[in-house]
Amino acid sequence: MTLHDLRLSRRNLLGAAGALSATAFLAACGGAGGGSAAAASQLDIYSWADYFAQDNLTAFTTASGITPKITTYDSNDTLSAKLNSAAGTGFDLVVPTSGWITEYASRDLVQKIDHSRLNLSTLDPSLLDRAYDPHNQYSVPKDWGLQGVIYDPRAVGGDITTWQNFLDAGERPGVQGKIRLSGSGWENVGVALWADGKDWNTTDQSVIRAGGDRMKDWVTRTKPQFTSSNVDPIVNGSIVLAIHDQAGARRAIEQNPALRWSVPGPTSQLWVDSYAIPKDAPHLDAVYSFLNYELTEKAQITDTRFLGYPTALAGLRGKLPPGIDNVDLIFGGAGVDLSKLTTFVVNPDTIPVYQEIQTELHALS
Amino acid sequence: MTRLRSTRAALGVVCALGLAVLYLPLLLSVLYSFNQGIDGRQTARLTGWSLRAYADAWQDDSLRSAALTGLQVALVVAAVSGLLGSAWGYAMVRHASARVRRALAGLGYLLVIMPEVVLAVSLLQFAGRLGVPLGFLTLAAAHTPMTMVVVALIVRARVLTLDRRLEDAGRDLGASELRILGDIVVPALLPAVLTGTVLAFTFSFDDVVISAFLTTPSVSTLPVYLYSSLNYGTAPAVYAATTAVLALTIVVLGIAGLLHRATTVT
Amino acid sequence: MPHLLAAAPGLWLTAVFVAPLLLTVALSFAHPGFGDVTFGFTLDNYRTALGGLYAQTFVQTVVLAVGCGALSVLLAMPIAYFIARHAGRFAGALLAAILLPYFSSFLIRVLSWQVILASGGPVDSVLHALGLLHAPLDLIGTRAAVVIGIVYGYLPIAVLPQYVVFSRIPRSTTDAAADLGAGAWRRFTSVVLPLARPGVATAALLTAVPMLGELVVPQLLGGGRGLLLGQLLQTQYVQSQNYALGSAIAVLILVAVGVLVALLLRLTRGFDEAPR
């Protein structure tokens, strides 16, 4: 053994010792805080913010003795990144949007639903057994929404019934710069793809890129904003043309009845936020007990009124109590045909393309 | 003398304007905590007065525990970074070895230019690969590099203006290193240490990026909750929770101030 | 004792900062996948990260951060000076007042700026009432709103280090300069400022550099228009889950900013001990 080797091995040893002590230290850190044995009456939900009516949560706690603890995410991307990381273990229930279920199932991040412990027969059949999760092996629908457009008809000069209308309206002088697109790449590229009669679930990257190029040209001229945050700027007229879901539209129109909402053709997005159970969920009994409670008619109606999105209960529209403002809008407006709409399915091969285009759209706006 | 007075008046006006700008958004957020909003969401238009948001915030277990966890994390972070950050800031200037001084300063610069998201993801990946379970202490530990460097740099700026001859004089008179530190250095640095520690607390309590990556099912904080609600309309309850925390802070700081005055007067 | 003072923070930082950072460097040479990496050695990530869009974003962000940083330091300077030299026994209370807003959520306060700067909001109304403006003013979604929000956010951090050094300058020093006939401005530029340099430099560093990664303000007040580094990095880590590319971008930012800061320090000698 030469002197050189000796030094090297000593360095390795030191490195190993350092890593070891760091491990021991960090392990001590985590153990003291999070690793303790979980109580039986616990339920850890990772969900969108304000996504469960407080009345439901309170009633469930009274009935079961379980207090659900809810932590929140801002996007499916955040949920996905979290589930994929060390910080993602320990959740009992998550609420991803439809398209991500396939990806989670294929990566083994979620477990199969035990249908013997749940009764889905009260739910709307049109929301069950869809392409992203055949036979609802991994998911149970919670509520659904649509990708549509909120607009000021005076500013855009008429009605918007197709995505081509939307693109044309954006080029008008009073509309440029007062537009809001979605924060998600596929929802924005989808606009161009649908206007051209294409499918956003295509695996052909050149089709996606062509749609992306069309949007990039459009964005360069029309200078939209992107944050999908609150509807205040739409209400006060700073934004006159915005991609939004129906719940936001309902809030905006309640404050400014001159605004209109439409789901442009030939097709648009239907998303279904769905319950899914992470692979190693520690409190399975609590999960099923909570799901059974949430699927009761009373809870479904309460959540619908709280959220402004319709839950999955069959015949929900007829079961809502009278006197709710703009009740049509909760269901996306009168005359929306769900069978004509399309649901995005996350594909690891095309996601980076959509993300890249979205980044470029931001840069060009 | 009149010129001095007019300079001072001008500076006072700038200071007052600065404070006004700092407080305007704060007062607005307090105002909006009493706003009804529409369909359970906050609106820019004031739609009517209500205390409901406070009741909602109190009832919401997740919101309450997020606020509480955040406070606890911030206290731990402030204590650790107050101690270690001050030691670091002092050693950066006074350590006998130039190499150690340079290494410590280099570490500080590296941290200052480190984007938060990189720090968060590195730590998360690191913990994941080592199989370290995440929890309260890992979240607190993750905040410390950012907050320590704030304390260290503020303390460092103070040490640089500190007259070294005082310490040397102490040494000449035969005082131990510990006594020099306790009797000369610490009292002189105390204001800087306290300022830094308070800043560390607020950094931690208000941090979004690092916290968002390191929160777990059992440990989450208020800003993470708030950030996640931005895209879909914020609940007025969040405004109420924030206002309540602020009010609590004012009370605690007020009591601390009174105690401080009482002890210094007697 | 002096060794302990250096070793304690050093060891702690090694565990929670240096080791994870080394992992990031290793990741930057790995082969990317969606939400996963395969360790190896490739320069592809760096090749992508040096592409046109990313370089352009980097330059834009540096310009914004340097501008906002300078603005924060300059605005904070008279405030810090007043508190340190003229506020007397109210200095403590004023400092507390500067810090107090920080006990309320930054996100909430930025949301308030959305209301303040919106058309029909207070700024708009006041300017109209004064007759200074005739068209509706809508700042939301503009670069100006981003600058306002960022400077607002970092102002107190710029005040503190400057306050600390200003308060340390003995009154006798400025009095002596006054006796020698120096006016207020002259005293400030040639006596106070050189003595205060470490604090001013600290303030600049503590504001401009974190601004490079600012994420929330451009999103909430800038409408997501234009691309900044913070968002670019966040996209790689969260949306694309490309940890390898994200790490490469991060390493490049560290190197580039490191060089910039080092140059700045060399030029200004800003962190050296104040001359006596």
Give the CATH number for residue C132: 1.10.3720.10
Question: Does residue B5 lie within any of the structural domains?
Answer: no
List of chain B residues whose C-beta atoms are within 8 Å of the C-beta of residue A19:
130
Cα→Cα distances C100→A50, B147, B189, C91, C97, Å = 28, 18, 22, 14, 5
Stretch A168-180: mean pLDDT, rounded?
A: 94
Question: Does residue C166 lie within any of the structural domains?
Answer: yes
Residues A95 and A126 in one domain: yes
List of chain A residues whose C-beta atoms are within 8 Å of the C-beta of residue C226:
362-363, 365
Residues A192 and A52 in one domain: no
The pLDDT tens digits of the residues spanning C30-62 come to 998 877 788 888 898 898 888 878 888 888 998
List of chain B residues whose C-beta atoms are within 8 Å of the C-beta of residue C95:
195
Question: Does residue C7 lie within any of the structural domains?
Answer: no
Question: Does residue A208 lie within any of the structural domains?
Answer: yes
Which has more confidence, B233 or C201? C201
The pLDDT tens digits of the residues spanning C243-266 come to 898 899 889 888 888 887 787 677
Q: What pLDDT score was predicted for residue C50?
A: 85
Q: Which of C214, C176, C169, C210 is nearest to C193 (CA)?
A: C169
Cα→Cα distances C90→B134, B196, C87, C94, Å = 44, 20, 5, 6
Q: How many domains does chain B have?
A: 2
Question: Does residue C66 lie within any of the structural domains?
Answer: yes
The pLDDT tens digits of the residues spanning C153-190 come to 999 889 988 998 898 888 888 888 888 888 888 888 88
Question: Does residue A95 lie within any of the structural domains?
Answer: yes
pTM of the model: 0.85
Long-range contacts of B9-16 (CB under 8 A, 24+ apart): B11/C78, B11/C81, B11/C82, B11/C86, B12/C82, B12/C86, B14/C78, B14/C79, B14/C82, B15/C78, B15/C79, B15/C82, B15/C83, B15/C87, B15/C94
Question: Does residue C43 lie within any of the structural domains?
Answer: no
Question: Does residue A77 lie within any of the structural domains?
Answer: yes
Residues B98 and B173 in one domain: yes
- String of DSSP letters for C137-203: P--TTSHHHHHHHHHHHHHHHHHHHHHHHHTTS-HHHHHHHHHTT--HHHHIIIIIHHHHHHHHHHH
Residues B203 and B177 in one domain: yes
Q: What pLDDT score was predicted for residue B264?
A: 58
Residues B118 and B248 in one domain: no
The reply to whether residue A34 touches residue B218, judged by beta carbons under 8 angstroms, is: yes
Q: Which of B91, B157, B222 sits opposite C161 (nearest CB)?
A: B157
Whether residue A11 is predicted with pLDDT greater than 50 in this model: the reply is no
Q: How many domains does chain A have?
A: 2
The reply to whether residue A70 touches residue B231, judged by beta carbons under 8 angstroms, is: no
Between CA A179 and CA B234 the distance in angstroms is: 22
> Which of C37, C57, C58, C107 is most worth mutating to test chain B (most B CB atoms within 10 A of its CB)?
C107
The CATH number given to whatever domain includes residue B220 is 1.10.3720.10
Residues B138 and B266 in one domain: no
Instruction: Kindly give the residue spans of alpha helices, DSSP state H, lying in chain C.
Output: 2-13, 19-28, 44-49, 52-85, 91-99, 106-117, 122-129, 143-166, 171-179, 184-187, 193-211, 216-220, 229-234, 243-268
List of chain C residues whose C-beta atoms are within 8 Å of the C-beta of residue B177:
1-2
Q: Is A25 left (phi over 0), alpha (psi -120 to 50) or beta?
A: alpha
Residues B97 and B211 in one domain: yes
Question: Does residue B3 lie within any of the structural domains?
Answer: no
Whether residue A18 is predicted with pLDDT greater than 60 in this model: the reply is no
Question: Does residue C157 lie within any of the structural domains?
Answer: yes
Question: Does residue B11 lie within any of the structural domains?
Answer: no
Residues A294 and A249 in one domain: no
Residues B264 and B142 in one domain: no
Residues B213 and B131 in one domain: yes
Question: Does residue A221 lie within any of the structural domains?
Answer: yes
Contacts of B218 (CB under 8 A, 6+ apart): A33, A34, A44, A69, A90, B135, B136
> Which of C12, C239, C240, C245 is most worth mutating to test chain A (most A CB atoms within 10 A of its CB)?
C239
Residues B43 and B114 in one domain: no
Closest chain C residue to A180, measured at CA: C223
Q: What pLDDT score was predicted for residue A32?
A: 37
Q: What pLDDT score was predicted for residue A198?
A: 96
Which has more confidence, A208 or B171? A208
**Domain region containing B161:** 71-234
Residues A182 and A123 in one domain: no
Sorting pLDDT into bands at 50, 70 and 90, what band is A30? very low
Q: What pLDDT score was predicted for residue A301?
A: 96
C 232-261 residues with CB < 8 A to B: 233-234, 237, 243, 246-247, 250, 253-254, 257-258, 261
Whether residue A17 is predicted with pLDDT greater than 80 in this model: the reply is no
Residues B142 and B194 in one domain: yes
The reply to whether residue C16 touches residue B152, judged by beta carbons under 8 angstroms, is: no
Residues A191 and A283 in one domain: no
Q: Which of C94, C107, C212 sits opposite B208 (nearest CB)?
A: C107
Cβ–Cβ pairs < 8 A, chains B and C: 274
What does the block give as tokens for A18? Answer: 């350092």
Question: Does residue A36 lie within any of the structural domains?
Answer: no
Cβ–Cβ pairs < 8 A, chains A and C: 88
The CATH number given to whatever domain includes residue A83 is 3.40.190.10
Whether residue A15 is predicted with pLDDT greater than 60 in this model: the reply is no
Contact (Cβ atoms closer than 8 angstroms) between residue C119 and residue A237 = yes
Closest chain B residue to C198, measured at CA: B157
CA angle at residue C160 from C155 to C164, to 5 degrees? 155
- For residue C37, give the 3-state DSSP assignment: strand
The pLDDT tens digits of the residues spanning A290-349 come to 999 999 999 999 999 999 999 999 999 999 999 898 999 999 998 888 888 999 999 989
- For residue B49, give the 3-state DSSP assignment: strand
Whether residue C241 is predicted with pLDDT greater than 50 in this model: the reply is yes
| Residue C33, beta-bridge partner list | C36
Q: How many domains does chain C have?
A: 1
Q: Which of B41, B124, B235 sits opposite A87 (nearest CB)?
A: B124
Question: Does residue C141 lie within any of the structural domains?
Answer: yes
Residues A359 and A223 in one domain: yes
The reply to whether residue C107 touches residue B191, judged by beta carbons under 8 angstroms, is: no
Whether residue C96 is predicted with pLDDT greater than 80 in this model: the reply is yes
Q: What pLDDT score was predicted for residue A40?
A: 59
**Domain region containing C202:** 48-229+244-268
Residues B55 and B154 in one domain: no
Closest chain B residue to A232, measured at CA: B44
Residues B138 and B203 in one domain: yes
Residues B117 and B75 in one domain: yes
Question: Does residue A19 lie within any of the structural domains?
Answer: no
Whether residue C224 is predicted with pLDDT greater than 80 in this model: the reply is yes
Local confidence pLDDT in tens for the 266 residues of chain B: 556 678 888 899 999 999 999 999 999 999 989 988 887 788 887 888 888 889 888 888 888 888 899 999 999 999 999 999 999 999 999 888 888 988 898 898 888 878 788 888 889 888 888 888 888 999 999 999 999 998 998 898 888 888 888 888 888 888 888 888 888 888 888 888 988 898 899 889 989 889 988 888 888 898 998 888 877 778 888 889 889 888 888 887 778 777 767 665 54
List of chain B residues whose C-beta atoms are within 8 Å of the C-beta of residue C24:
118, 121-122, 125
**Domain region containing A297:** 42-145+271-334
What does the block give as tokens for A79? Answer: 């949920």
Residues A234 and A357 in one domain: yes
Between CA A327 and CA A315 the distance in angstroms is: 14
Q: Which of A23, A30, A48 sits opposite B138 (nearest CB)?
A: A30
Residues A257 and A283 in one domain: no
The answer to ipTM > 0.90 is no
Q: What pLDDT score was predicted for residue C123?
A: 78
